[in-house]
């Protein structure tokens, strides 16, 4: 069954949701996981793409925007609309909505910003997961 982790950003969390997402992507990649980052828009997808090149000096995370060249198989894909046709094991959800394909993944990482509308949407997703029996873990980040 899919495990779900909520990362709750505090007011002093460094860099916001996108920076936390990049750190989580980097950690998952270094632990040999295949990752799909689901964003809320094409613009956010492009921002994450750019950030993965620059968020940390000396780090390298091979990635591509989805859909990627079929001959390439990067360990990290970033998308915003479509369900990936490949099989990553970690989903990082940056969208405000619950991706309909989340249950395909071994783990789902939800990153919750500091704004009240984002927190309310995250509470609804948390409730959804809990009511269906998904194992939940919450991490408070400051």
Give pLDDT, residue 137.
Answer: 98
Show the tokens assigned to 140: 């408070």
Confidence of residue 83 (pLDDT cuts 50, 70, 90): confident
Show the tokens assigned to 126: 């948390």
Question: Of the ranges 7-11, 24-28, 66-70, 113-117, which is most confident?
Answer: 24-28
Burial (CB count within 10 angstroms: exposed 0-12, middle 13-18, buried 19+), residue 3? middle
- Range name among 16-20, 45-49, 75-79 with the lowest pLDDT average: 16-20
Q: What is the mean pLDDT of residues 18-22?
A: 94
Q: Supply the range of the domain harboring residue 36.
A: 3-141
How long a stretch of residues is the chain?
142
Q: What is the mean pLDDT of residues 80-90?
A: 88
Give pLDDT, residue 5.
Answer: 98
Show the tokens assigned to 16: 């916001």
The CA distance from 96 to 29, in Å, is 24
CATH number, domain of 132, equals: 3.40.50.10110
Number of structural domains found in the chain: 1
Give pLDDT, residue 14.
Answer: 66
């Amino acid at each position: 069954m899919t495990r779900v982790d909520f990362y709750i950003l505090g007011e002093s969390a460094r860099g916001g949701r996108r920076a936390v997402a990049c750190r989580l992507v980097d950690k998952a990649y270094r632990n040999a996981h295949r990752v799909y980052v689901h964003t809320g828009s094409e613009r956010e997808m492009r921002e994450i793409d750019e950030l993965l090149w620059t968020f940390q000096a000396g780090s390298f995370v091979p990635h591509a925007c989805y859909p990627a060249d079929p001959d390439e198989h990067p360990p990290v894909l970033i998308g915003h609309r479509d369900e990936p046709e490949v099989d990553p094991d970690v989903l990082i959800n940056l969208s405000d909505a619950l991706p309909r394909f989340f249950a395909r993944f071994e783990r789902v990482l939800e990153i919750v910003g500091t704004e009240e509308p984002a927190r309310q949407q995250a509470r609804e997703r948390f409730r959804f997961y809990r009511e269906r029996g998904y194992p939940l873990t919450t991490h408070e980040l400051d």
